[in-house]
């Protein structure tokens, strides 16, 4: 995933409860992505001989590498969200720590951006992987029908 300069047109003030719910939602989405990636890895293993066909090997190799890279990023993002969630106490401890609270909100905004970017890239790769695998499945079905 490429690093892009983040630009916020406005900053919405979120309550600690809203940030907590957002963090839980992110973790839920990331865990679901991990489950999907396990499923995709199983499909790749099941169709390895077909994926190594000379006509599609370059594309399949690239997709598998991108999927593995995304798995590594997913672990990092999940760890960041969990750490972020543990620091939520800064926002609710009734102690004015303006710099720390501001840094927490900035981190929350960064995580919002990073998770959104991750999900956009992940969905694109997943779509391309399903397209490739469905093409393989269709060609196998046609070969079976001809025999």
SS3 9: coil
- The verdict on residue 125 lying in a domain is yes
- Calculated CA dihedral for residues 109, 99, 84, 30, nearest 10 degrees: 10
- pLDDT at residue 8 greater than cutoff 60: no
pTM of the model: 0.80
- pLDDT at residue 114 greater than cutoff 70: yes
For Cα atoms 27, 81, 32, give the angle at the middle one, nearest 5 degrees. 20
- The verdict on residue 8 lying in a domain is no
- pLDDT at residue 85 greater than cutoff 70: yes
Integer Cα distance of 121 and 98 in angstroms: 35
Q: How many domains does one find in the chain?
A: 1
Q: What is the CA radius of gyration of the chain?
A: 20
Q: What pLDDT does 10 receive? A: 44
- The verdict on residue 2 lying in a domain is no
- The verdict on residue 7 lying in a domain is no
Pick from 123, 108, 143: nearest CA to 19: 108
- The verdict on residue 6 lying in a domain is no
Q: What pLDDT does 4 receive? A: 60
Least confident of 21-30, 43-52, 87-96: 87-96
Residue 144 tokens, joined: 């079976």
- The verdict on residue 79 lying in a domain is yes
- The verdict on residue 71 lying in a domain is yes
Pick from 75, 84, 76: nearest CA to 34: 75
- Could you give phi then psi for residue 101, rounded to 5 degrees? -65, -40
């Amino acid at each position: 995933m490429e690093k892009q300069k983040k630009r916020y047109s406005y900053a919405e003030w979120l309550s600690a409860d809203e940030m907590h719910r957002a963090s839980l939602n992110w973790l839920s989405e990331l865990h679901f992505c991990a489950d999907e990636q396990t499923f995709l890895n199983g499909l790749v293993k099941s169709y390895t001989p077909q994926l190594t066909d000379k006509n599609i090997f370059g594309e399949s190799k690239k997709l598998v590498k991108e999927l593995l890279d995304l798995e590594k990023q997913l672990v990092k993002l999940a760890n960041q969200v969990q750490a972020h969630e543990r620091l939520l106490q800064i926002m609710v401890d009734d102690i004015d720590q303006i710099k720390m609270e501001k840094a927490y909100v900035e981190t929350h905004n960064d995580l919002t951006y990073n998770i959104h970017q991750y999900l956009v890239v992940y969905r694109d790769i997943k779509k391309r992987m399903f397209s490739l695998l469905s093409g393989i499945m269709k060609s196998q079905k046609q070969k079976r029908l001809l025999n």
